[in-house]
Amino acid sequence: MIPRHKLVTALAEAPVAEVHLASNCSRVSEVISRIGDKWSVLIVMQLRTGPRRFNELKKLIGGISQRMLTLTLRGLERDGLVTRTVTPTIPPRVDYDLTALGRSMQAPVEALGSWAMSHLDAIEKARRDFDRRLEK
């Protein structure tokens, strides 16, 4: 069998350390795409003060659809960042909370949010300048 794809060929010919690095990059990319999407960040920020119910999260996070909230919570739970606790009442009560792993994400997420808040004006100015240059 002859690998025809360039990446497969390159990995087949690469030293073991490079193959390991490429494999880790792919795995890190998956994690970053989960914790870096806007809905995950907003959910983590809302759960930092303690458990929340689904509808409470939906109200606190403006603009998120029920489906997107469900999918994002499921992904965060799958990645071990959020727990889902069902209390058998009528109707059933479902609470979401950060795990220890999810809480360890809190500081970097808050730092990124803080950075964004303190640089909003500079970013908006850069965007205006860029758009003006494109108009010419």
52: pLDDT strictly greater than 80: yes
Percent of the chain residues topping a pLDDT of 90? 57
105 pLDDT band, cuts 50/70/90, is confident
pLDDT digits (tens, 9 = 90+) for 80-89: 999 999 999 9
Chain centroid, CA 126 distance in Å: 25
- What's the domain range around 53? 36-135
Enter the pTM of the model. 0.70
Let me know if residue 101 belongs to a domain: yes
pLDDT given at position 128: 96
Is there a domain that residue 19 lies in? no
Q: Say if residue 16 is exposed, middle or buried (CB neighbours under 10 Å; 0-12, 13-18, 19+).
A: exposed
The domain that contains 52 carries what CATH number? 1.10.10.10
Do the beta carbons of residue 48 and residue 105 sit within 8 Å?
Answer: no
**Inside any domain, residue 27:** no
Give the total number of structural domains in the chain.
1
Residue 13 falls inside a structural domain: no
